[in-house]
Amino acid sequence: MSAPAIDAARDHARRLEALARIWSNAPGLRGQLTAVNHGTIALRFVVAGLAFMLVGGLLSMFMRLQLAWPDAQVLEPERYNQFVTMHGTTMMFLFAVPIMEGFAMYLLPKMLGARDLPFPRMSAFGWWCYLFGGLFLYSSLLFDAAPDDGWFMYVPLTDAIFSPDKGPDFWLIGVTFAEIAAVTAAVELIVAILLTRAPGMDIRRMPLFAWAILVMAFMIALGFPPLILASILLELQRAFGFVFFDPALGGDPLLWQHLFWLFGHPEVYIIFLPAAGVVSMVVPTFARRPVVGYAWIVLALVSTGFLSFGLWVHHMFAVGIPLLALAFFSAASMAVAIPTSIQVFAWIATLWAGRPWLRLPMLHILGFLVVFVLGGLTGVMLAFVPFDWQVHDTHFVVAHLHYVLIGGLMFPLFAGLYYWLPLVSGRIPSESLGRMAFWLVIIGFHLTFVPMHLTGLLGMPRRVYTYSPVLGVEWLNLLSTAAAFVLAVGIVAILVDVGLCFVHGRRARANPWRAGTLEWAVPVPVPNYNFASAPRVEDAYPLWHDPGLRERAARPDGLLGDPARGRRELLGTGIVSARPEQVVFLSGSSWLPLACAAVVTVLLAFFIAGQYLFSAACLLPLVALFCRWAWTTGWPGGPASVEAGDGLVLPSQYASRNAPGWWAIVVTMLIVGSLFASLVYAYFYLWLGSAEWPPLGMGDAAPGPLHYAVPAILVVAWAGGAAATAALRARRHRRRRVVAPAMVAAGAAIAFVALHLWLLGASLGAPQAHAYASVVWTLAGFCAVHLAVAALLCLQVAARVGRGLVDAGRPLEWRIAHAFLRYAIVQAAIGWAVIHLFPVLQ
Amino acid sequence: MSPARRPRRLVWIASPFAIWMLHFVLVYSIQGLVCARGWPLAVAWVGMALVTLPAFAAVAWLGLDARRRAASADAAGEKRFAARLVAMLSLLALLAMAFTIVPALLLNPCE
């Protein structure tokens, strides 16, 4: 080897060592508690998700034992209700959604050719919230207060009269807490997919898993807020006596059902689409050819994402809604079968046109195709209103939903688990134990759930601890119970097999399945930074056409290969074109995510204990921690532009137009907007069912001049924000000219909040008096909270401008604060118009 | 400082079904309002027609325009892909809107 070659090799070794040091977690327990790296966090999601699956599955085994015979006495009726509730809640909120997010968080950066997700501390915060939220929910068992009202928490069963215990509170608070993880993951994943793809990976070349996760994340952003809002409303009713769902005081119990299912149906597709994404990755590899109909699958994903929001009333066909309204939802329920079938046909066509290789992951894909298609067919049957009326609330629906969810999630999940196992473990799973487990699962599954179609058709009700012997379904139930144990043994065998693979599996060579996508270009064992240099791609299956890519990406001499700055760096690319646009400096390991989640836990524990003052007091440390978080994000005071390697000079995120932070605030506004829209929907829903609005003697039917003057304060806040932006844009800006109007904007926002709430207090009275007062107070409070957050953001950024950390060359943070300020002002203006103008104009 | 570049092409891809969604919400709201408030049924028919016709026209235009763009020779690869996608999505959105509106032709709004 020549001397220059030796020098280059030494330089590479030094760079790789530096990269490993920069991206490593701290040692020991401290390192585990402060870790923010996507690989570490994502694997925790997967492991915890599987653990919750086992617990949820255990509950269902007890339920099956209870139903094995009509007079079985395994569980008391109350305990059975608790188990039904916790089984559904666990599987939906603590297993299905988080585990797919875990898959996405682990795989996406690797598939996209990135080093990490764009907001590592947020990933870690989401993880702690998920863990603490799940444990919070399960802690109800310690207090003998496990929720027992079903995973759908229908009112009035869950209001303070019919459920005076703390069960529903544990559910509402625990689930909402765990949902923080889903929402933060949605922001994270959308921004990662839009902005951190490898150079050259334009929208034609994105892995289909990324498309599926993109659609899923947008669905979470729009679909979770209705449930979060509904949970807040019900908790306000239970804790403080607000009335949203009590008809005696102008409320409506159906409002809960609408909000719940407005989340609940998209939830099914939030679970299914990532699984479909897994299938679209596994099938081409084992068919040994590119997927057939790439554009058709993208079409199916996008259209399913939208159509799934038009199905929610099909869970409410039996509540007495006019037929035409039912027909709209029935039609959408049938229409959604079209894009789903397009995907199924595309997968079959890929297998047909390829040379299928029947290894373990592929076996689970075949299981998926059979089970999911059967579930889809009973879904189309249930979309017919008259048929639904016949089998509503029977075990036919239980059979259908398990065919869809186990078919649509579990089989692809196991396929994915086996498929990516060599990447995580560096070892190949055993075919023998794995195949036996697969057959146990598929036989056990069918024998468990096929009989339920029959018991349902014969009239056996669901969610009930027993059934009448007159129905003649004893033997079918006994068969279901026996087979459920076969299914359970199969699932445990799969997990044991996967666990054993880490210890006894045969060492895998690189890319053992000969896949074409970028995650297989990562070295094994996987370094925390994934790629030493950002890879460049030129088609959808780069490893099939560019054999040298793997080696180039592992060499630290390409884009971002030189870690001279000692920072965690990520390459940002164009949203559609994927051309290099910016260098993103990421935050490293930190205690902040754990500390924030711990304070939230204490806050919620005080709340559920009825110690509202202590609970409110927790807001102070929480806000302080979040301010600290915002102050220390990324590289405070980092440069405006940097050398990115390959002779490329790029702006840092602080100077980039498409900075991750900017897109995060855009997605956040989408989420908050969905929350606000749900609240406005609740207002108009209650109005629609009311005889008089506002009720006699309540509210200000003819608002005074002061009411109309209040919005003028919002104009001042708007002008302050605009002035600060103009001053920042000026070529030679002075800090004072930015700071002063930003503070004026913050002050005006707070002034609006104070004056508006004071005026409402004077004219409206207590929120407990009527649904009108409850919803108006909630609307005003919602707008007030957002204005307060916007004011806080303005003050924080003003302080940073004062310190010289934000300026004309690095305006990102002010752009974020200003965007949220404008959003909060527009939201407050709409809220004001709904509260004060609508009653006059109606 | 310049404003962020909007991801026009992603919005374009979302637009056919965004119109489907808007149409769905409006038609459902009109039906709900007319029935809950006891307004004349004619309001429901006229309202639904006024919402449906422009929605069909808009999606059809989007689809035809996208088809033309996809066929044009000078379109770059990713642009052509997006155009093809929008054309296909428009077709499916038209089908879904037809699915939604057919029951309105067959059923009384408030029965």
A248-300, pLDDT tens digit by residue?
999 999 999 999 999 999 999 999 999 999 999 999 999 999 999 999 999 99
The mean pLDDT of A668-676, rounded to a whole number, is 97
Among B17, B20, B99, most A C-beta atoms within 10 A, so best to mutate, is: B99
Q: Mean pLDDT, to the nearest integer, of A599-613?
A: 96
pLDDT of A700 over the 80 cut: no
- β partners of residue A190: none
**In terms of Cα–Cα distance, which of A835, A831, A717 is closest to A772?**
A835
Pairwise pLDDT comparison (A5 vs A785), residue with the higher score = A785
CB contact under 8 Å between B92 and A322, yes or no, is no
Mean pLDDT of A351-359: 94
Number of H helices, E strands in chain A: 29, 6
pLDDT digits (tens, 9 = 90+) for A411-461: 999 999 999 999 999 999 988 999 999 999 999 999 999 999 999 999 999
Per-residue confidence (pLDDT) for residue A566, from 0 to 100: 92
A657 min Cα distance to partner chain B (Å): 5
Mean pLDDT of all residues in A687-692: 88
* pLDDT at residue A61 tops 50: yes
SS3 A249: helix
pLDDT tens sequence across A641-656: 999 988 899 999 999 9
Q: How far apart are CA A123 and CA A182, in angstroms?
A: 10
Q: Does residue A408 carry a pLDDT above 70?
A: yes
Taking only the tens place, the pLDDT of each residue in A475-513 is 999 999 999 999 999 999 999 999 999 999 999 998 999
Measure B15 CA to nearest chain A CA, in Å: 10
Give the minimum alpha-carbon distance from A729 to chain B in angstroms, rounded to a whole number.
6
Chain segment A338-350, per-residue pLDDT in tens: 999 999 999 999 9
Q: Which CATH number fits domain A19-507: 3.40.50.970, 1.20.210.10, 3.40.50.180, 1.10.1740.10?
A: 1.20.210.10
pLDDT for position A521:
95
| pLDDT tier at A712, thresholds 50, 70, 90 | very high
* Whole-angstrom distance, CA of residue A669 vs CA of residue A671: 5
- CB within 8 Å: A303 and B92: yes
Peptide bond into A694 cis (omega under 30): yes
> Hey, do A19-507 and A690-842 end up sharing a CATH topology, with the first three levels equal?
no
Q: Do B17 and A194 touch (CB under 8 A)?
A: no
Q: What is the pLDDT of residue B3?
A: 42
pLDDT score, position B7: 60
Give B93's contacts in chain A (Cβ within 8 Å).
303
Rounded CA gap, A437 and A418, in Å?
12
Mean pLDDT of A206-223: 96
With a cut of 90, say whether residue A788 has pLDDT above it.
Answer: yes
Q: How far apart are CA A411 and CA A371, in angstroms?
A: 9
For residues A823 and A6, the model is more confident at A823
CB contact under 8 A, A296 and B88: yes
Q: Which residues of B touch A339 (CB under 8 A)?
A: 92
| pLDDT value, residue B79 | 82
Distance CA A587, CA A768 (A): 45
Alpha-carbon distance B3 to nearest alpha carbon in chain A (angstroms): 7
Mean pLDDT of chain A: 94
**What percent of chain B is predicted at pLDDT more than 70?**
91
Quote the pLDDT of residue A621: 97
Does the beta-carbon distance from A658 to B5 stay under 8 Å?
Answer: yes
The per-residue pLDDT for B6 is: 54
CA quadruple B78, B80, B84, B89: dihedral sign: positive
Q: Decide if A658 and B95 are in contact by the 8 Å CB cutoff.
A: no
Contact residues on chain A for B28, CB-CB shorter than 8 A: 325, 328
Which of A324, A340, A342, A343 to mutate against chain B (most B CBs within 10 Å)? Answer: A324
Measured torsion, CA atoms of residues A62, A64, A68, A74, in degrees rounded to the nearest 10: 20
Q: What is the pLDDT of residue A647?
A: 86
Instruction: Specify the pLDDT at position B2.
Output: 40
The CATH topology of domain A690-842 is Four Helix Bundle (Hemerythrin (Met), subunit A) (1.20.120)
Predicted local confidence at residue B1, as pLDDT: 40
CB-CB under 8 Å, A303 with B96: yes
Q: How far apart are CA A703 and CA A710, in angstroms?
A: 11
Indicate if the pLDDT at residue A764 is higher than 90: no
**Among A486, A406, A403, residue whose Cα is nearest residue A440:** A486
Indicate the pairing of strand A427-428 with strand A506-507.
antiparallel
pLDDT over 70 at A701, yes or no:
no
pLDDT of A730 over the 90 cut: no
Are B103 and A330 a contacting pair at CB < 8 A?
yes
A91-113 pLDDT, tens digit per residue, is 999 999 999 999 999 999 999 99
Q: Is the pLDDT of residue A76 over 50?
A: yes
Indicate yes or no: CB of B88 within 8 angstroms of CB of A302. Answer: no
Among A299, A305, A325, the residue with its CB nearest the CB of B31 is: A325
- The share of chain A scoring above pLDDT 70, in percent, equals 99
Q: Which residues of A touch B92 (CB under 8 A)?
A: 299, 303, 338-339
pTM: 0.96
Domain spans in chain A, listed from the N-terminal domain onward: 19-507, 690-842
A162 pLDDT higher than 80: yes
Give residue A699's pLDDT. 66
Contacts of A331 in chain B (CB under 8 A): 99-100, 102-103
Cα of A349 to nearest chain B Cα, Å:
19
- pLDDT number for residue A731: 67
For the cut 50, the answer to whether the pLDDT of residue B4 exceeds it is: no
Q: Which among A295, A325, A658 is the nearest to B28, CB-wise?
A: A325
Q: Which of A551, A516, A517, A514 is nearest to A531 (CA)?
A: A551
- pLDDT at A664 exceeding the cut of 80: yes
Q: What is the ipTM of this complex?
A: 0.92
CB A210 within 8 A of CB A582: no
pLDDT tens for each residue of A299-346: 999 999 999 998 889 899 999 888 999 999 999 999 999 999 999 999
